[in-house]
Amino acid sequence: MIGLAPPYSTFFDDGRQRFLKFEDAASGLGPSYNATSCGGCHNQPSIGGVGNVAVIRAGVVHNGRYEAPQGGDLVHLFSIGDYSCQPQIPADANNLSHRIPTPLYGAGLIEAIPDSVIRTWEDPTDRNGDGIRGHAALVMDPATHTMRVGRFGWKAQQATLLAFAGEAFRNEMGITNDLFPKEAATGLSAEQLAACDKVPDPEDRADPKTHLRGIDDVTNFMRFLAPVEPLPLTEDRRRGMVLFSHIGCASCHVPELLTGPSEFPALDHKSVNAYSDFLLHDIGTGDGVEQGAAQGNEFRTSPLWGLRFRKRLMHDGSALSPSDAIKQHRNESERSRQSFDHLDTPDRQALLEFLGSL
Ligand code: HEC
Ligand code: HEC
C-alpha cells in the first residue's frame, strides 16, 4: 500500500477483501465467466499481480476489418447453471487471440499521469525519423462520457481504474454494473443471457452501509497498491540502464513520467518509473483485434516495472524471458532490436541484468 492515512487505509483493506471475494450466481456471477474473483487472475507473486490464465477472444476478420460476433468477442471459459449459456467459438470465427493478465502494482500512479503528459511523447508521423510512430489511445470514459487517453490494458483500452474495474467485473465475471450494464458473451443473444442469469442488471449494487459499489471498492484497492521497487543499481545494472536508452528501448519504454496534482499526497506530482510511454505501437506482434483506439497490429508499450516477478511476457504470454520478448520486437522497434542483437556478450548481459532488476 502507498503511504495512506485513515480513512483511506480502510478503503484499501475493504477493497482488497472485495478483490478476493468469491462471487456466485446469487451475487451476479455469469451467466458465463472466466473466474470467480479478481484475485483469481491477479495473485502472483502477491494479490494484485498476474495469474496463470489466458483469456480468449474470437472474432471475424473480413476485408481486413475485425468484427466481433453477436454478444461480443469474449469466449468465456465457464458458465453457471445447466451450460445452456456456455459460449462457444462461433463457426465463422477466423481470428482467435489469447491475452494474459497484466499486474496492478502502482496502478494509481499510472492513473494520475495527466493525458497531456502522455501526449507529449506522440509522434504518429515520425517527424524525428527514428522509425517510431507512437500515438495516444483516445477512448471514451464510460463514467464521465469524455474522451481520455487510455493507458490500462494491452490495448490501452481504458483510461481510469474505475472504468477498468467496471469492464473487468462484466467481462471476467459476468457481473453487470453502472458502467457496463449489459451482459456480454460471444454468440449468445440478449434473450438467452436473460434466461440464464436471473439477477436483474446492474448486478453490482452499492453497499447500504458504505454506499460503495464493488467497482468502487476494488478501485480503491488498485489505486493505492504500491509499485514494485527496483533492486539497487550495481555497476553492471547501471551500464545496462545506459545501454537501454542508447539502443532506443527507452524511446518507447520511457523510464520516467510525472503525475499531476492529486488529493492523495502519495500520488501528487510523483515520478512514475513504469518504463512505458503508454502509447500504441506496431512492433509486429499484432493479434488482429481492434479494440478501443488500437488497430489489430497495435499494443500499448508494456510497462517494465516489476518485470523480475513475471515469467510469461508479451500479450499472449508467448515469451518466457526478457530476451525471448526482445526477439519478437519488429517494425517500429526493428532498429532497437537490431542494436540489441549487435551488442557484444558483456553488454547484452548488462542490459539483461538491468531488466532483471526492475
Ligand atoms: C479471468 C482472469 C481475470 C480476472 C477474473 C480479472 N482480470 Fe484483470 N486482467 C486480466 C487480463 C487478461 C488482463 C489484460 C486485459 C486486456 O488487456 O485485455 C487484465 C488486466 C487488468 C487491468 C489493467 C492493468 C494494466 O495496467 O494494464 C486492471 C486494472 C484489471 N485487470 C483489474 C481487474 C479487476 C478489478 C478485476 C475484478 C473485477 C479483474 N481484473 C479480474 C485477467 C483477469
Ligand atoms: C516501438 C516501441 C518499442 C521499442 C523501441 C521497444 N519496445 Fe519493448 N515493447 C513494446 C510493446 C508495444 C510491447 C508489448 C507487445 C506485445 O505484448 O505484443 C513491448 C514488450 C516488451 C517486453 C515484454 C513486457 C511484457 O509486459 O510482457 C519487454 C521485456 C520489452 N518490451 C523490452 C524491450 C527492450 C529491451 C527494448 C530495446 C531493445 C524494447 N523493448 C524496445 C514497444 C517497444
The pLDDT of residue 2 is above 90: no
Closest-CA residue to 173 (of 18, 46, 67):
18
Residue written as grid cell 488498485: 222
CA angle 182, 183, 187 (to 5 degrees): 125
The pLDDT value given to residue 192: 86
To the nearest 10°, the Cα dihedral for 190, 191, 197, 198?
A: 120
The pLDDT value given to residue 190: 82
Whole-number Å distance between alpha carbons of 2 and 112:
14
Atom 34 (ligand 2): residue with closest C-alpha?
Answer: 249
For the chain, what percent of residues have pLDDT higher than 70? 100
- In short, whether 326's Cβ falls inside 6 Å of ligand 2 is yes
Closest-CA residue to 224 (of 261, 275, 263):
263
Q: Ligand 2 pocket check: which of 99, 289, 301 to mutate, most ligand atoms within 8 Å of Cβ? A: 301
The pLDDT value given to residue 129: 97
Per-residue pLDDT band at 4 (split at 50, 70, 90): confident
The pLDDT value given to residue 7: 80
The pLDDT value given to residue 226: 97
- In short, whether 332's Cβ falls inside 6 Å of ligand 2 is yes
**45 Cα to the center of ligand 2, angstroms:** 22
The pLDDT of residue 36 is above 90: yes
What tens digit of pLDDT does each residue of 307-353 get? 999 999 999 999 999 999 999 999 999 999 999 999 999 999 999 99
The pLDDT value given to residue 185: 84
For the chain, what percent of residues have pLDDT higher than 90? 91
The pLDDT value given to residue 187: 84
**314 Cα to the center of ligand 2, angstroms:** 8
What tens digit of pLDDT does each residue of 139-184 get? 999 999 999 999 999 999 999 999 999 999 999 999 999 999 999 8
Whole-number Å distance between alpha carbons of 149 and 146:
10
Q: Ligand 2 pocket check: which of 243, 245, 302 to mutate, most ligand atoms within 8 Å of Cβ? A: 302
**pTM for the full predicted model:** 0.98
Whole-number Å distance between alpha carbons of 205 and 211:
9
**Which residues approach ligand 1 with their CB closer than 6 A?**
34-35, 38, 40-42, 53, 55, 99-102, 104, 107, 152-155, 161, 164-165, 168-169, 172, 218, 222
Q: Which three cell numbers stand for residue 105?
A: 502494482
Whole-number Å distance between alpha carbons of 178 and 196:
20
The pLDDT value given to residue 175: 98
Q: What number is the average pLDDT over the span 15-35?
A: 96
The pLDDT of residue 8 is above 90: no
The pLDDT value given to residue 40: 98
What tens digit of pLDDT does each residue of 258-278 get? 999 999 999 999 999 999 999
The pLDDT value given to residue 3: 78
What tens digit of pLDDT does each residue of 87-109 get? 999 999 999 999 999 999 999 99
Q: What number is the average pLDDT over the span 225-252?
A: 98
More confident residue, 188 or 223: 223
